[in-house]
Amino acid sequence: MSKVRIAIVGAGAIGRAHAEVIATGEVAALAAIVDPTEAGRAVAGRYGVPWLADQDALLAAGGVDAALVATPNQTHLPVSLAFIARGIPVLVEKPIASTLAEGRALTEASEKAGVAVLVGHHRRHNPIVKRARELVRSGTLGRLTSVSVLSTFLKPDSYFELEWRRRTGGGPVLINLIHEIDLIRFVCGEIDAVLAVTSNKVRGFEVEDSAAVILRLASGALVTINVSDTAAAPWSWDMSSRESPLYPALPAPVNSHYLSGTAASLTLPQLELWRYPGKAGWHEPIAREIVEVARADPYAEQIRHLCAVTRGEEQPVITAADGTRTLEATLAVHEAARIGAPVALSYGQ
């Protein structure tokens, strides 16, 4: 079976990371780098693939089966539409778009043309997250009652040398919290209301540096998320899960997600399952077991999945419509903080 030829559009940090996964993997071939900058040309040279200035030049040249769009958020819609018009499946980095209107337009175009648009919420491809979803959906935890999420980490001063990271929209809500929102939706179920407060008092930038969020799920379960990019702490998915080699190994295992149910509770990423072996109650002994799961690179699995979708062998794990729902719930955090009241979600319905 020939490899699926994937073009990377956008040679920034995430585009380069995807290029490395494709080039070193066995399931896909890096077809081209599409980026108008000299940095993009250098990436193409590194992998010995064609360099093109834009998607129109790529489409004119041909030789591509799928595209991975890692350009600035506000360009996701026009870039993706060009590929949809040619019947080429697209994996769009998160967030799917910069606005709900753009996300919905991309969803409509995908569905009307019958061309798959996937969204780069890579955690859905992590075996830990998939196993957690299975445990929740199977009833192992009983009825889910509450979830606590810590997303606390420290971005160095050098991170903010780029001006857009100091401006509204460049903070941990849209860059980091969106991953937590998507994980909650995938594992625990849909969100029907959002309440939040934000703060920018540590750095004093226009953008927030911390947020406290409460989500009410359609099931009635409540979720609290504490996110801060000013904290000297290891309690975040990125640092605790070891998904990426960019983060150093911790001296001891830690968790970042705590799922509590009427029959059992579960931690992530360590997959500790806590439940009563006999009589239940807070004065009774409770047992701990580790749920075993084979670890795998979610970024590599995401590329494998894109190839399978391109061949018609699998359905998307996250569609454009699904990615737009995650964006809507995330944008509701800013709106709830602005008005000081809960925001109800209807997902455009």
Mean pLDDT of 44-64: 95
Distance of CA 258 to the CA centre of its chain: 19
Q: What pLDDT band is residue 169 in, cutting at 50, 70 and 90?
A: confident
Nearest to 94, CA basis, from 201, 18, 166, 178: 178
Q: What pLDDT band is residue 329 in, cutting at 50, 70 and 90?
A: very high
Do 186 and 268 belong together in one domain?
yes
Mean pLDDT of 232-260: 94
- 3-state helix, strand and coil shares in percent for the chain, rounded to the nearest 5: 40, 25, 40
> pLDDT tens across 305-322, in order?
999 999 999 999 999 999
**pTM attached to this predicted model:** 0.95
Do 139 and 34 belong together in one domain?
no
Q: What pLDDT band is residue 261 in, cutting at 50, 70 and 90?
A: very high
How large a percentage of the chain has pLDDT more than 70?
A: 99
Does residue 217 lie in a domain region? yes
> pLDDT tens across 176-211, in order?
999 999 999 999 999 999 999 999 999 999 999 999
Does residue 174 lie in a domain region? yes
Q: What pLDDT band is residue 244 in, cutting at 50, 70 and 90?
A: confident
Mean pLDDT of 232-241: 96
Cα separation, 31 vs 49, in Å, equals: 6
> Is 96 within 8 Å of 77 (Cβ atoms)?
no
Cα separation, 30 vs 144, in Å, equals: 43
Do 182 and 292 belong together in one domain?
yes
Do 136 and 111 belong together in one domain?
no
Lowest mean pLDDT among 41-45, 214-218, 226-230, 243-247: 243-247
CATH number of the CATH domain containing 333: 3.30.360.10
Q: What is the mean pLDDT of the chain?
A: 96
DSSP letters spanning 86-97: TT--EEEPSSS-
CATH number of the CATH domain containing 8: 3.40.50.720
Residue 205 CB: number of other CB atoms within 10 A?
15
Cα separation, 166 vs 173, in Å, equals: 13
Give the per-residue pLDDT at 73: 92
Do 177 and 226 belong together in one domain?
yes
Do 49 and 142 belong together in one domain?
no
Do 128 and 246 belong together in one domain?
yes
Range of the domain at 308: 4-121+298-317
> pLDDT tens across 333-346, in order?
999 999 999 999 98
Give the per-residue pLDDT at 346: 82
Do 138 and 263 belong together in one domain?
yes
> pLDDT tens across 120-165, in order?
999 999 999 999 999 999 999 999 999 999 999 999 999 999 898 9
Residues 6+ apart with CB under 8 A from 217: 144, 184, 188, 189, 190, 191, 192, 223
> Is 132 within 8 Å of 293 (Cβ atoms)?
no
Cα separation, 232 vs 224, in Å, equals: 20
Does residue 56 lie in a domain region? yes
Does residue 324 lie in a domain region? no
Count of structural domains within the chain: 2
